[in-house]
Every structure is written in C-alpha cells, then in structure tokens.
Amino acid sequence: EAGVTQFPSHSVIEKGQTVTLRCDPISGHDNLYWYRRVMGKEIKFLLHFVKESKQDESGMPNNRFLAERTGGTYSTLKVQPAELEDSGVYFCASSQDGLLNSPLHFGNGTRLTVT
Amino acid sequence: AQSVTQLGSHVSVSEGALVLLRCNYSSSVPPYLFWYVQYPNQGLQLLLKYTSAATLVKGINGFEAEFKKSETSFHLTKPSAHMSDAAEYFCAALPYNTDKLIFGTGTRLQVFP
C-alpha cells in the first residue's frame, strides 16, 4: 500500500510569489489533514477535510492560504502571496476513520523556504 | 485552551541507558494522548496512544508511556536505548469531540555508543 505522498519535498520561493503544495492520501482515506511546523516550534493543525468537504479550517493562518480537495482525492494547499513567516514544514496526513478509530498516516512533508 | 508541554528539546543518552521523554498536558478533562516519532527525512509515525483504557500503554519498538492524571503527565520511556532510537519525538493531545491533534514542540533524542 502506498503511503501519503507529498510534493514537492522542498520549495524555495521569494516573498510575494505563489506556491502550491500537493498531497496524495492513502487510497480510500476519507480524512485528510494539513499541519505545519514552523522552525523550532510545535506542529500546528491547519485544516481537516472529510472527502471533499472542509470539516475544520480553524487553523488556517489567514486568507493567503487556500486548500482544496476536488473529488475527495488529492489535496492542494496554495499560499498566495507567500510571506517570510510562511516558511516551515507542511505535513499532510490521512486516516480512514477518525483519529481514535484508525491510525493517522503522515507524509514526509514539504519544506517551504520563503526568502 | 488545551496545550502540550514537552520538557527538554534535546535529550542525550548512552546506548543501553533508560530513555525518559517528558510530556504534560493542560486540561481539566484528560484528553486522548499520543506519542509520535519522526526519523530523519520521514513522516511522523505513531508510537502509542492512550484512550482511557489502561493507564500504562505499550507501543512499538519497546516504548511505553504511563498516563498519570494527578500529574497531568504522559511520559515516554524505554528501558534500554538503541542507536536506532535516535529521532525526534512528539507528544500530542486530542481533546474530546475534535479531530484536531495538539502537538508539543518535540524532543530530539540522541543516542551515543
């Protein structure tokens, strides 16, 4: 079974540019989550999809961030325009059911550097 | 609001020594609790979880954690460290009625021969 895949693995962009991160969850997993870790700090929740619907987007920092999950399969997270404080590692994770009933599988993350 | 505190951003032990990684949660109602491990260039993997059954939880790779309500703690231990245990460890809490994990800042474990 293929795991959660994220790409790119690294992205370096200039302030003001746009970046789109992609996540392919494990096939059949309805729940998809985005988390972010800013350097040296805790991993923070961004949002949660159930199929194609946003279940909880309370962690999205501001309206420069847009997440989509068309068709309930892969998801994209777009940052436009990027700011310096957006640098960090963006993790995607998926689970079949809720977090108590099934394990959460993480991707390897996308390291975003905004210069 | 719920928070998770991991004391010690770096812990170093000798191979064969006891591993103790500390985690405290802040909540009047104990949440569900998890430990994750991240090896270099990999995603996070679940080590173990506490879901209000047994207070002593056994996980993979010989790790275990004990839930202590009186101390609001969920410390991770392993009797004998192995070189392959070198990684970053994250404690996380899942408050009731949410599907949103709250992580600590992580503890990087180094194991010396």
Q: What is the pLDDT of residues A7-28, one digit of tens each?
A: 999 999 999 999 999 999 999 9
- Under an 8 A CB cutoff, do A104 and B99 touch? no
The stretch A39-68 carries a mean pLDDT of: 94
Q: Which residues of B touch A41 (CB under 8 A)?
A: 105
Task: Provide the number of CB pairs (under 8 Å) joining chain A to chain B.
Answer: 58
Q: Write the pLDDT tens digit of every residue in B11-67.
A: 999 999 999 999 999 876 778 999 999 998 899 999 999 987 789 999 999 999 999
DSSP B62: G
Q: Which residues of chain A have a CB within 8 Å of the CB of B106?
A: 42-43
Convert the pLDDT of each residue in A83-104 to its tens digit. Answer: 999 999 999 999 998 887 888 9
Residue A43: predicted pLDDT: 95
- Which residues contact residue A91 at a Cβ distance below 8 angstroms, ignoring those fewer than 6 apart? A6, A34, A35, A36, A37, A43, A106, A107, A109, B43, B44
Instruction: Say if strands A110-114 and A10-13 run parallel, antiparallel, or are unpaired.
Output: parallel
Q: Any alpha helices (H) in A1-115, and if so which ranges?
A: none
- Asked if the Cβ–Cβ distance from A99 to B94 is below 8 Å, we say yes
* A56 pLDDT more than 70: yes
Whether the ω angle into residue A8 lies within 30 degrees of 0, i.e. cis, is yes
The reply to whether residue A42 touches residue B100, judged by beta carbons under 8 angstroms, is no
Residue A1's pLDDT is: 66
Q: In B, residues 32-71, which contact A (CB 8 Å cutoff)?
A: 32, 36, 41-46, 51
- Given this model, what pLDDT does residue A70 score? 86
Q: Do A48 and B100 touch (CB under 8 A)?
A: yes
On the 0-12 / 13-18 / 19+ scale of CB atoms within 10 A, A101 is: exposed
The DSSP code sequence of B84-111 is GG-EEEEEEEE-TT----EE---EEEEE
- Mean pLDDT (chain A, rounded): 94
What pLDDT does B41 receive?
A: 85
Contact B109/A at CB under 8 A? no
In angstroms, rounded to a whole number, what is the distance separating the alpha carbons of residues A42 and A94? 19
Tallying the residues shown for chain A, one arrives at 115
3-state secondary structure of B71: helix
CB within 8 Å: B100 and A44? no
Taking CB atoms and an 8 Å cutoff, what residues of chain B touch A45? 100-102
Report CB contact under 8 Å: A3, B103. Answer: no
Q: Is A102 helix (H, G, I), strand (E, B) or coil?
A: coil
Pairing status of strand A88-95 against strand A31-37: antiparallel
